[in-house]
Amino acid sequence: SFVPRRLQGKVAVITGGATGLGASAARLFARHGAKVVIADIQPEPGRLLSEEITAAAAASYVHCDVTVDADVRNAVDAAVSTHGRLDVMLSNAGVIARPDTMAIASTDPDDFRRVFDVNVYGAFLAAKHAARVMMTTGGGAIVFMASNVTESYGTTPHAYVASKHAVVGLMKNLCVELGGNGIRVNSVSPFGVPTAMALGFTGMDETAFKEAYYGRMGNLKGAELDGVVFKAEDVAEAALTLVSDESRYISGVNLLVDGGHSLKSA
């Protein structure tokens, strides 16, 4: 059956696009016709993913540390020089705090700063350079990867929670500033997904993670592990919805993708 290509002809930059949620988004955006620039600090997985995608669509990898202004500028400029435009920025690069920093007394200031440098300053740079181009070409869509910790508290380190609240605040302020330029700005706030980063933080293997997050903690219930298993692809689909033209009048939204978990835990 015919599947509409919702990003046909569009150009997307995805920060942190080499692995995890970013890689899922890169694959999905490409399947929907986008030309994808994977901006990441991991050269090997970044190049491998771009080669995988290029078998069916256009993709490239550019080295990018989102805490370095010149790197983010270069990633955006590479998209424009190669493809002539930029339509989508998915600001996905992020880190989580060390697992031993749940209590404020044990929170290391350097680790707190590291989380903000990547999650907040990196998001700022992604938006700044995307807007720089989009303001001259008639608009576009910027989506930040936030987290359902913006609506659910007490289970995640302070640095991570505060950083994701900052990202949502930035998103809303940018929505107001950039709307007049035809630029939509939104965020996606997912529940935990068993990516390498999440498994490393929890110290669980994938089976234990699924049992904990989708069985005991999850709100949506189903046959598998007594819970509907949440996948990176589900987050990518939410991002696709927000950047596609079907959402052309949606801006300023923090889209929770957590199966109602944040309401259950409120």
**pTM for this predicted structure:** 0.91
Per-residue model confidence as pLDDT tens digits over 225-241: 455 677 889 999 999 99
Active-site residue, selected from the candidate residues 121, 160, 213, 214 = 160
**Side-chain-side CA neighbours of residue 23 (13 Å):** 16
Active-site residue, selected from the candidate residues 60, 91, 147, 247 = 147
Which residue type does 52 have?
Answer: E
Residues 184 and 108 in one domain: yes
Measured CA to CA, the distance from residue 134 to residue 183 in angstroms comes to: 7
Measured CA to CA, the distance from residue 94 to residue 31 in angstroms comes to: 24
Residues 238 and 225 in one domain: no
Nearest to 128 by CA among 66, 207, 215: 66
Measured CA to CA, the distance from residue 92 to residue 22 in angstroms comes to: 6
Residue 6 inside a domain? The answer is: no
Residues 162 and 218 in one domain: no
How many C-beta neighbours within 10 Å does residue 246 have? 12
Residue 247 inside a domain? The answer is: yes
Residues 29 and 92 in one domain: yes
Measured CA to CA, the distance from residue 246 to residue 266 in angstroms comes to: 31
Max distance between CA atoms of the chain, in angstroms, equals 57
Structural domain span for residue 29 = 11-192+231-261
3-state helix, strand, coil in the chain (%, to 5): 50, 15, 35
Active-site residue, selected from the candidate residues 10, 35, 91, 164 = 164
CA distances from 66 to 12, 14, 73, 76, 91 (A): 16, 11, 10, 12, 9
Residues 29 and 60 in one domain: yes
Residues 252 and 161 in one domain: yes
Residues 41 and 71 in one domain: yes
Any catalytic annotation for residue 147? yes
> Cβ(137)–Cβ(83) under 8 Å?
no
Report DSSP state, residue 114: H
CA 250-184-194 angle, 5° bins: 80
> Cβ(81)–Cβ(74) under 8 Å?
no
Parallel, antiparallel or unpaired: strands 11-15 and 35-40: parallel
Measured CA to CA, the distance from residue 24 to residue 17 in angstroms comes to: 8
Residues 220 and 236 in one domain: no
Segment (H or E) for 190: strand 183-190
pLDDT tens, the chain, 266 aa long: 456 789 999 999 999 999 999 999 999 999 999 999 999 999 999 999 999 999 778 999 999 999 999 999 999 999 999 999 999 999 999 998 887 778 999 899 999 999 999 999 999 999 999 999 999 999 999 999 999 999 988 888 899 999 999 999 999 999 999 999 999 999 999 987 766 777 666 677 777 766 666 666 666 666 454 556 778 899 999 999 999 999 999 999 999 998 887 787 55
Measured CA to CA, the distance from residue 5 to residue 24 in angstroms comes to: 16
Measured CA to CA, the distance from residue 147 to residue 76 in angstroms comes to: 24
Which residue type does 206 have?
Answer: E
If one counts the domains in the chain, the total is 2
Per-residue model confidence as pLDDT tens digits over 69-112: 999 999 999 999 999 999 999 999 999 888 777 899 989 999 99
Percent residues over pLDDT 70 in the chain: 88
Residues 143 and 214 in one domain: no
